[in-house]
Amino acid sequence: MPVLAAELAHFEYKVSVVVIGAGACGLTAALAAAEAGADVLVLERDARPTGSTSLSTGLIPAAGTKLQRAAGMEDSADLLARDILNKARQQSDAGMVHAIAHAAGPTIDWLTESHGVLFTLVEGYLYPGHSVRRMHGTPNRTGRELESALLAAAGKMQIDIVCSALATDLYATPDGRVTAVRFIRPDGSSETIGCNALVLACCGFAGNKGMVREYIPEIADAQFCGHVGNQGDAIAWGRELGAALADLGSYQGHGAVATPYGNPINWGVLTEGGFQVNALGQRFSNEVHGYSEQAVETIAQPGGFAWNIYDEIRERPILGFTDYREVMALGGIRKAPGIDALATLIGVPDYALQQTFAEVDAIRAGKRADPFGRDFGNTRPLEAPLCAVKVTGALFHTQGGLVIDTDAQALRGDGSKLPNLFAGGGAARGMSGPSRWGYFSGGGLLTAVTLGRLAGSNAARLARAAA
Ligand SMILES: Cc1cc2nc3c(=O)[nH]c(=O)nc-3n(C[C@H](O)[C@H](O)[C@H](O)COP(=O)(O)OP(=O)(O)OC[C@H]3O[C@@H](n4cnc5c(N)ncnc54)[C@H](O)[C@@H]3O)c2cc1C
């Protein structure tokens, strides 16, 4: 992924803003840039855009949206920022977190009202780290649906998206001003396009086994549920251009991916009072710290798997999730009339599962403390029919990337701006701090759409000034 000297670039046409990547970040950036009057071109390596966005559940946290207000939900950008910073143990950039939290609500309203992306508020349970209900998702709670809605919006704005176009090289002046991008087609032919500004929206490096092993060895052998095309290109270009990079050891994992199906099981069944046991029928962690940090807990269990244990009451709010319905249709959700029958069904020792249920109920009733430090709150004991699903831990996407400012413009190590380079979503440093435990539920798409919008509009502004 080299950066070549600007004078080597030969291009016949030029646009104001080139966006690399057609996931949530790239498409949001393109919408914002086009709205600001720029001519935009999006380059996407896949024949049909299927980045992490399409593979995701598509849920985006935001505060103060019209949907929240209509539901009578009290929330604020400051509370959202506080929740994000608490989850990251104050180890992420507070200024960026505040900027993103304040942009979140307006971005959801803007996508809905100006671009026809239909969201509803997720009701029925809280996500780890969220003080109030603030997850917004498209009706069937799939990233495919979100991606399709964004593509439709881009189509309405007549934004050019060139698919099967793998961006390989950037051309730049010695001070880091990107003047052109070269991309190759599946037949090996290549084209170069000039630009006044560039938005890197090609996510992180989770699809690059070598980089994952180098920067995040703890998750390198886990299942990978994200997009294999995300090879760390933004990081490679950023490094060559002199951009600062941060938090490369940070990532979003997930500790309850249904196995062997590969679909994430919604965390609501756990936050509302369910729990996880291993093959020995024993709990092994505080399940509600967060789903990201739970990935390594789950894969550390005998056989590398666990069972989510819950009941039909906790299942009800997630029946609308396509991911869950698919696992159910394939027979992955086991149900039994009692603990003994459930133990037999899932093959864990009967006496151990009985004991785990008894211990959890004693913790719920305040008769003993949880050895893992979990507060079961006011949750009620599980009731028959009981449910179980076999799960494992997985890597979803990486959280480290280019350091940007609140305009989503890339910065050098000394804090100065690179002349015309912007980044967002998985290409930019996330809000999680340095590790797995800082990931805030929904933080991936939150940074994709808010930073995408900021990157697009600011790239358009800068491109206009440069024209
Ligand atoms: C199973 C799963 C569930 C998830 N659920 C949620 C959720 O509910 N909420 C949430 O907030 N986050 C969720 N995430 C994380 C979320 O999907 C990502 O954080 C988000 O989609 C990142 O958006 P993006 O636009 O930066 O990247 P992507 O959507 O991955 O888009 C990047 C695009 O760039 C393209 N590309 C890469 N390199 C090049 C190149 N050199 N040239 C051209 N194109 C290139 C890729 O093909 C891809 O289409 C989930 C992730 C997974 C895997």
pLDDT of residue 466: 79
* pLDDT of res. 377: 84
Domain with CATH 3.90.700.10 in the chain: 252-395
Please give the CATH topology (third level) of the domain spanning 252-395: Flavocytochrome C3; Chain A, domain 1 (3.90.700)
Q: For 218, list phi and psi in degrees, rounded to 5.
A: -65, -20
pLDDT at 451: 98
pLDDT, position 465: 85
From the alpha carbon of 54, which atom of ligand 1 is closest?
A: 29
**For a pocket test of ligand 1, which of 18, 43, 53, 205 has the largest count of ligand atoms closer than 8 A to its C-beta?**
53
For position 335, what pLDDT does the model report? 98
430 lines ligand 1 (CB under 6 A): no
How many C-alpha atoms does 232 have within 13 Å on its Cβ side? 18
Tokens of 180: 């052109």
Find where tokens 């989770």 sit. 206
Contact between 434 and 163 (Cβ < 8 Å): no
The answer to whether 423 and 408 have CB atoms below 8 angstroms apart is yes
- Calpha distance 218→202 (Å, rounded): 24
SS3 track for the chain? CCEEEHHHCCCCCEEEEEEECCCHHHHHHHHHHHHCCCCEEEECCCCCCCCHHHHCCCCEECCCCHHHHHCCCCCCHHHHHHHHHHHCCCCCCHHHHHHHHHHHHHHHHHHHHHHCCCCEECCCCCCCCCCCCCEEECCCCCHHHHHHHHHHHHHHCCCEEECCCEEEEEEECCCCCEEEEEEECCCCCEEEEEEEEEEECCCCCCCCHHHHHHHCHHHCCCEECCCCCCCCHHHHHHHHHCECEECCCCEEEEEEEECCCCCECCCHHHHCCCEEECCCCCCCCCCCCCHHHHHHHHHCCHHHCEEEEEEHHHHHHHCCCHHHHHHHHCCCEEEECCHHHHHHHHCCCHHHHHHHHHHHHHHHCCCCCCCCCCCCCCCCCCCCCEEEEEEEEEEEEECCEECECCCCEEEECCCCEEEEEEECHHHECCCCCCCCCCCCCCHHHHHHHHHHHHHHHHHHHHHHHHC
Answer yes or no: is the C-beta of 446 below 6 A from any ligand 1 atom.
yes
Q: Ligand 1 centroid vs 274 CA: distance in angstroms?
A: 29
Q: How far is the CA of 120 from the centre of ligand 1 (A)?
A: 21
Q: Ligand 1 within 6 A of 42 CB? A: no
Low-confidence ranges of the chain (pLDDT < 70): none
pLDDT in the model for residue 134: 97
Output the CA 203–ligand 1 centroid distance in Å: 6
- Ligand 1 within 6 A of CB of 447: no
Q: Please give the distance, rounded to the nearest whole angstrom, from the Cα atom of residue 53 to the centre of ligand 1.
A: 4
Beta-carbon contacts of 155 under 8 Å, excluding residues fewer than 6 positions away, are none
Q: Please report the pLDDT score of residue 126 as a whole number.
A: 86
For atom 2 of ligand 1, which residue has the closest CA? 56
Does 397 sit in the ligand 1 pocket, CB within 6 Å?
A: yes
Q: What does the CA dihedral 272, 277, 282, 285 come to, rounded to 10 degrees?
A: -60
Residue with the smallest CA separation from ligand 1 atom 12 is 444
Rounded to whole angstroms, how far apart are CA atoms 305 and 392? Answer: 5
- Which atom of ligand 1 is nearest the CA belonging to 229? 47
User: How does strand 401-402 pair with strand 245-246?
Assistant: antiparallel
User: What integer pLDDT is reported at residue 240 of this predicted model?
Assistant: 97
User: For residues 184, 190, 196 and 202, what is the CA-based torsion angle, rounded to 10 degrees?
Assistant: 0
Torsion angle in degrees (nearest 10) through CA of 58, 51, 20, 62: 10
Whether the ω angle into residue 337 lies within 30 degrees of 0, i.e. cis, is: no
Which residue, by CA, sits nearest to atom 14 of ligand 1? 56
How far, in Å, is the centroid of ligand 1 from the Cα of 434? 20
Closest C-alpha to ligand 1, atom 33: 21
46 lines ligand 1 (CB under 6 A): yes
Angle at 189 between CA 185 and CA 191, to 5 degrees: 80
* Residue 232 Cα to ligand 1 middle (Å): 12
d(CA 303, CA 390): 11
d(CA 201, ligand 1 centre) in Å? 9
The verdict on the CB of residue 229 being under 6 Å from ligand 1 is: yes
CATH 3.50.50.60 spans which residues of the chain? 3-249+400-466
Ligand 1 closest atom vs CA 165: 43
Class (C level, CATH) for 3-249+400-466: alpha beta
Residue owning the nearest CA to atom 15 of ligand 1: 444
Residue among 334, 315, 330 nearest 266 (CA)? 315
